[in-house]
Structure 1
């Protein structure tokens, strides 16, 4: 079977693979290179075309006209040109985002607002994490790495919560395995709601007592 007809081969083109197809929704504007490149890597990986930009597909022999004409040397060159021109040292960016996460605390914000702020910073930080394109990393290893980052997200969220939620935080930390971040947020938000209802009830009772006293 020719590689062009093999659905599992990078040379295979689906009928939807054309020049008008948009791989990522965000346009490339230079300063968004980290997030844009991460989105492109994911999109190309889904399309099984990642090998054309990482150099893992060897240049075919010119005698094989069909494959040679499908060769994407320009894709490899353009990708590396963009990388050289727009990729800056990750150190200062990662340091700045991590410092913002470390200093982030709930303070006077509702839990939902605080959670959204942390989620935005965590997503920005994820753009600087290395993306495996070698195809040799085992699924179990990748799963453990993913679990580590998810645990880190949960820990950052719990550390920034007000002491008002210390009991709920302690109960969550005792759960093994640790709950997913959305579940943790749901539990804390539920506790916040209960505390607000309790405060309203106490205020109403206080007002009623004062009214009777008069």
Structure 2
């Protein structure tokens, strides 16, 4: 039998005529009986099962804030891309990648899922500082969502070094073979 959220936390559909909700035994919640009950499908809210292992909001009993997801620590621009790929794979294996990549919307605080989202978000927030250097961890400590931390790290460390790129391009254009300069001719694209 699937777990059901407490009745107070369930989102109830709006019913226009005689909104009488029934308890499981056929009796109305107010103790009276009703001859024209609302069909079960109209009176029940969407059921969220936190024990559904396919749901990103599911937390396995072995998952804890002290878990270290990857062995490499983010040190800065020098290893950001390798670190981000390792973290993506680790988060995907735990079905938590949607919490950092922006594909999961934050539920309303009135939604029964909010508690579970907050719990999973906090868990991922506790995993990220264990995967970055202490200096970087201090810089993201006060960001409240795992998605916010992920975006901040990407913004800070994934950018290419524009000055180095210009320097390398300049070196390529100044390359000489003996006394002759090497002219770079753009490749012709065949017409289809």
TM-score, length-scaled by structure 1: 0.40
Larger Cα-atom Rg = 2
For CA contacts below 8 A with separation 6 or more, give which structure has more relative contact order: 2
